[in-house]
Chain A
């Protein structure tokens, strides 16, 4: 799955953008700035999804994650008072001992990642017969050939991929049970978040009982 040419350029642009925006998310003073940097990260990751041929998931990411979850975050940031933090009078980070421990843990984690990616990737290439350059070129030309059979798009310059169709077919046939369970999960989340965020006055109003003064 080697990307080349302009796809490689866009990969590096969006990858560096995602990493920089993620770093700024955890380093920003203002919580609203953090939320906006996280939105940039999510959009860059959606662009990486589109580069990998998962256009449906890129659209779902922008609609649901950016358009739903991040808007919810921004609402809650506005409801909760973050004035002290942005004036600089509150600390951003935990105590130095905790930060040092987490840095040591992260160094060990990244060493583990490098080892795992190195070993696993070599093994994966060996299993799929892609170790030499010629084998990779052959696999790339096979993919190009199989893509000639797709339908042409309206303007004739690109082809309509079958990814969305395959994902939909999977979701309704093989993954139908997790799909239904996900619906129940969303229902539970809706009911739960309404219950958690109600004030006692609102709860009492629906029960038609009097609240004591000062509740």
Chain B
């Protein structure tokens, strides 16, 4: 048990090469690729929280768009990183992002069509009232 807690803390608590204050200052004044990845991860987590906890189906769709945007941010951050480190295929991240935006638009159109059809038949948009297939 002690080992488990120690190793979990080791995940999040980095050892300090320079002083910890210096590390924080450098992280704030010169954001690097890892800060973008952290922001994208936080957006992803907020999107997943929205999908799992809200009852309104349209807000669930909007949280799915948040998740897709987090993935887009990851792709673009890596595209810029690869461009800076001289990789030839650096623009592939941006091409991926274009396709993710296209797929998200198509999915939103179909999903909202489904919502309209559902509302016409069941007069509700709350997911816990849509339980015809439940045991």
> Does A73 lie within 8 Å of B61, measured CB to CB?
yes
Interface presence of B16 (CB below 8 A):
no
Cα distance A182–B28 when bound, in Å?
Answer: 39
Closest beta carbon of chain A to B82's beta carbon, Å: 9
Contact A76 B116 (CB under 8 A): yes
* Interface segment out of the listed A150-158, A185-193, A206-214: A185-193
Q: Say whether A31 contacts B59, CB under 8 Å.
A: yes
Shortest A43–chain B CB gap in Å is 11
Determine chain B's interface SS by DSSP, over half rule: helix
A54 in contact with B80 given A69-B105, A80-B58, A117-B41 (CB within 8 Å): yes
Contact of B108 among A3, A72, A105, A188 (CB under 8 A): A72
Given contacts A8-B31, A73-B61, contact A185 B106 (CB under 8 A): yes
Give bound CA distance, A91 to B129, whole Å: 12
* CB-contact partner of B54 in A26, A72, A82, under 8 A: A26
CB A202 to nearest CB in B, in angstroms, measures: 12
Interface residues in B102-120 by Cβ distance below 8 A to A read 102-110, 112-117, 119-120
Q: Is the CB of B109 within 8 A of A54?
A: no
Chain B residues with CB under 8 Å of A98's CB are: 52-53
B33 at the interface (CB under 8 A from A): yes
Minimum Cβ distance to chain A for residue B63 (Å): 6
B residues apposed to A, CB below 8 Å? 8, 11-12, 14, 28-39, 41-50, 52-56, 58-59, 61-63, 65-66, 69, 72-73, 76-77, 79-81, 83-85, 91-92, 94-95, 97-99, 101-110, 112-117, 119-120, 125-126, 128
Q: List 12 A-B contacts (CB under 8 A).
A: A1-B80, A4-B29, A18-B39, A60-B101, A73-B61, A92-B54, A102-B48, A106-B49, A121-B33, A167-B98, A189-B110, A196-B117
